[in-house]
Structure 1
Amino acid sequence: MTDLSSVAKMAGVSRATAARAFSAPELLRPNTLDRVLAASQQLGFRPNRVAQQLRTQSTRIIGVLIPTLSNPVFAEQLQAMESAAQQLGYSLLVATTDYQPEQEAAMVESMLRQRVDGLILTVADADNSVVLAQLTHEKVPVVLVHNPAHHTTIPAIGVDNYRAMYEVTTYLQDLGHCHIGMLTGPIWQSDRARLRYQGYQQAMTDRGQQALPAIEMPTHTRTSFNVLLPYLQGRFGLTALLCSNDLLALSAIGGLTRAGYQVPEQVSVVGFDGIELGRHVFPSLCSVVQPRDELGRCAIATLMLLLDGQPPASSVVAHYLRLGESMSPPAANTPHDR
């Protein structure tokens, strides 16, 4: 039977070094780690994870909580996190919550029972989260992604949602748009959506234009055209729509097109997230880009600092506007009545 000593001998390292390749690979030089892993694969050796966990009190598992996998922004971020974690010898335990706070508490409790080494969370509302308040009594390190954590010491990784939406609203205003509205899902379910709305609201106020109430859709990923239609009609019908995420924006474009509206000639549409799908549809989606790879890698790096006993700070990741065919200046005489 192949054992660790056989792997060490083939790799030309000590047994202790071979053991570190499976328990703490980040401590080894890359060429040494590669030799040990190659030898273990050739010999068919599999380390006893249960025994390692009992010795080190570490599962090498990170719990990751996200609202949904149906939105590619979370899936793309998760892929980057998994790659970064694997390079450090960690695995991910992933759960989704569908933006429901009660689900957050249940999923986090399940992860804690499985003795995860740390948690990376995206919750509905960080400042009013019951689960985050409960986690202050736990020893497990926690990192927030996307959530602005104003009333907690938990480090948070994300873009400046307020500033990003303020800037893109100003961009539309500079193109000549005066009648701009913002689509969101249920706004009480997302602190990010509320900050984005506040950015839109302030930009409109600063130009002396009327900021409409958020146009709330039944879900975060699908537009109800019947809800949207009244805002498009009449003398002051909207000529531009800001959407709190890209899936809402793509759904809005579909609804507009089916109803006979031309995008962007009659209504410009701008998303938020910068998912890859937006590049490949027609018209291509103009969107505020959150760099998902950087968010994922930064979240893992921040959690590693916490596990190492170092106090990391929150990080604001730079956003940018990806131009697309879904945005243009407003037409001189845009017809809205239909």
Structure 2
Amino acid sequence: MIKRSQVTITDIAKYVGMTNMTVSRALKKPDKVRPETREKILAAASELGYVPNAFASHLRSRKNRLIGLVTASVDNPFYSEVIKAISRAAKEHDYTIMLIDTDGSPELEDVAIDTLLSYQVAGIILSPVSDDASYRPIYLERLRKANLPVVMLDRTLDVTGFSRVVLDNRLAGKLIGELLVQKNIERVLTLTGPRSSQITRHRLAGLKEAYKEGGVPLTLEQRPGDYTLQPAYRDMAAHLRRGKLPEAVFGFNQLITLGAMRALHDAHVSRDDVLVVGIDRLPYADIFDVTIPCAVHDTYQLGHEAFRLLFEQTKDPTTVGREVTISATLIQ
């Protein structure tokens, strides 16, 4: 006996000695099949334990109303908010989102693109695993040949021809820098993403620009990580073990900032002794009366613009790819 989860229309067809088309018609359009044929097929389906693939049927009925969304860090609260915005915008236009989390793996990212292409999605919103200028994923050529609307989100590949929605990272870094300059802080520890990340470089450039314009000397130490909490915690703890506190710690995203705060807490270092600043709003911090100065971006606008650009291209494939930049504001 075939296992229940493996029974297909082909299995039923072989069992009753009929064609796949006849079996499919009997199961989906029974009025189109002679009663005796229908009864034989339905009896075989019941005996074999056939269960229709409801998901596949749903996709077939919604052809070209499916949009792929690929992200490297669905556990990042920043991306969770963006995904929610995209999902809401998609629902307004009767599209369904297929979300794939690559967990920072280039291999899983490649599989994700293949999967979405196989489902013949109407378009893809992609936040790649890396924004290193040298990163050239092997799926790029497949995307181009598919002639599919693609919008890159936040992290982008250094290639032409695709629309993108990005953050004003230089401004975000500069806003934090201006705040530190106002407080006359000279020694800053930056916990960043990878050194080669364009986002990291732009945020650092903005920070340095603020100090240069403010005329305050800057002693800067950079600890590169991967935009996740644990490396930031490790690097902050290692820095504290050296015994010399920075005047300020600058986390380059909310997970990094949270990692730094946890390390300071575990080392019994008061935030009165070290100023913690960051990029992205800390989720639910206000519940605990925790106030962290931060440069924030409108996650709703980011997600909404990504869907809008994709929607424009699905309606008019001749639409030229373009870039939208989301500004930053300082919250103290």
How does 1:1-338 map onto structure 2 within 5 Å?
49=58, 52=61, 58-123=63-128, 124-125=130-131, 127=133, 128-131=135-138, 133-134=140-141, 135-148=143-156, 151-188=159-196, 190-206=197-213, 207=215, 209-210=217-218, 212-217=220-225, 220-222=228-230, 223-224=233-234, 225-229=236-240, 233=244, 237-263=245-271, 265-309=272-316, 310-311=319-320, 313-323=322-332
Residue 262 (structure 1) shift: 1.4
Q: In the superposition, relative to structure 1, how do residues 193 and 231 fare at CA in structure 2: closer, same or farther (>3 Å)?
A: farther
Distance in structure 2 (CA, Å) of the matches to 1:304 and 1:244: 31
State the aligned residue count: 267
Q: In the superposition, relative to structure 1, how do residues 202 and 102 fare at CA in structure 2: closer, same or farther (>3 Å)?
A: farther
Q: In the superposition, relative to structure 1, how do residues 218 and 92 fare at CA in structure 2: closer, same or farther (>3 Å)?
A: closer
Q: In the superposition, relative to structure 1, how do residues 246 and 50 fare at CA in structure 2: closer, same or farther (>3 Å)?
A: closer
Residues 191, 252 of structure 2: 8 Å contact kept? yes
Residues 273, 289 of structure 1: 8 Å contact kept? yes
Q: In the superposition, relative to structure 1, how do residues 159 and 279 fare at CA in structure 2: closer, same or farther (>3 Å)?
A: farther
TM-score by length of 2: 0.73
Q: In the superposition, relative to structure 1, how do residues 198 and 220 fare at CA in structure 2: closer, same or farther (>3 Å)?
A: farther
Distance in structure 1 (CA, Å) of the matches to 2:95 and 2:118: 18
Q: Partner residue of 2:18?
A: none
Residue 285 (structure 1) shift: 2.3
Residue 202 (structure 1) shift: 3.8
Of structures 1 and 2, the larger Rg is shown by: 2
Q: In the superposition, relative to structure 1, how do residues 148 and 221 fare at CA in structure 2: closer, same or farther (>3 Å)?
A: same
Residues 227, 252 of structure 2: 8 Å contact kept? no
What amino acid sits opposite 2:176 in the alignment? V
TM-score by length of 1: 0.71
Residue 132 (structure 1) shift: 6.4
Paired-residue identity, %: 22
Distance in structure 1 (CA, Å) of the matches to 2:250 and 2:107: 29
Deviations, residues 42-95 of structure 1 (Å, cap 9, x unaligned):
xxxxxx756545xxxx43111101111211111111111111101111111111
Deviations, residues 91-114 of structure 1 (Å, cap 9, x unaligned):
111111222323222211111111
Residues 254, 280 of structure 2: 8 Å contact kept? yes
Distance in structure 1 (CA, Å) of the matches to 2:252 and 2:102: 19
What amino acid sits opposite 1:318 in the alignment? S
Q: In the superposition, relative to structure 1, how do residues 255 and 274 fare at CA in structure 2: closer, same or farther (>3 Å)?
A: same
Distance in structure 2 (CA, Å) of the matches to 1:231 and 1:297: 45
Q: In the superposition, relative to structure 1, how do residues 172 and 322 fare at CA in structure 2: closer, same or farther (>3 Å)?
A: same
